[in-house]
A = this chain, B = another copy of it.
Amino acid sequence: MATPYWTRPEPPYHVAIFTITPSGIDPEGYAEMNKRMVKLAEAQPGYLGRESAVLPNGSDLVVIYYADAESIRTWKRNSEHVVAQRLGRQKWLARYRVEVARVERAYEFAAGPSANAAPDAEGQTCGSASPGQD
């Protein structure tokens, strides 16, 4: 289920960034596991959205947003997710790095009257967890 990036709330919220290099072993199994993990991630309370793309070097870049750090911890410890992580290390994955970060500021822009949000010629600061800074 797609959650458009412009519907994310004002900061603060959290993000988990996955950079994943598949091993090339059992790509069908890896794809199936990924589909299942996407459903798990979406079902986790606090889920705010997700972007996923294949990098030019063949690695996967997955960015998943949650309302708070506790949602990410709970999701990481989900029993089915833990099994998938173990299987991933055993066969599907050559290398990965997961980064958990707190979103402190966000800027948005939408052009023209056909866009869903109000246009703002200067780019709008839609939230800041560090008042007084930009």
Q: Is A132 an interface residue (CB 8 A)?
A: no
Query: Quick check: A100 and B104 within 8 Å, CB to CB?
Result: yes
Chain A, residues 57-78, CB within 8 Å of chain B (1/0): the string is 1010101000001000100100
Q: Is A94 an interface residue (CB 8 A)?
A: yes
* A-side interface residues, number (CB < 8 Å): 52
Report if A111-B89 is in contact (Cβ < 8 Å); known contacts: A5-B19, A63-B17, A104-B69.
yes
Q: Which residues of B contact A105 (CB under 8 A)?
A: 99-100
Query: Quick check: A89 and B109 within 8 Å, CB to CB?
Result: yes
Q: Is A102 an interface residue (CB 8 A)?
A: yes
Complex Cα distance A52/B54, Å?
A: 9
Add 4 more A-B contacts to A61-B63, A98-B108, A99-B105 (CB < 8 A).
A15-B17, A51-B55, A94-B111, A98-B107
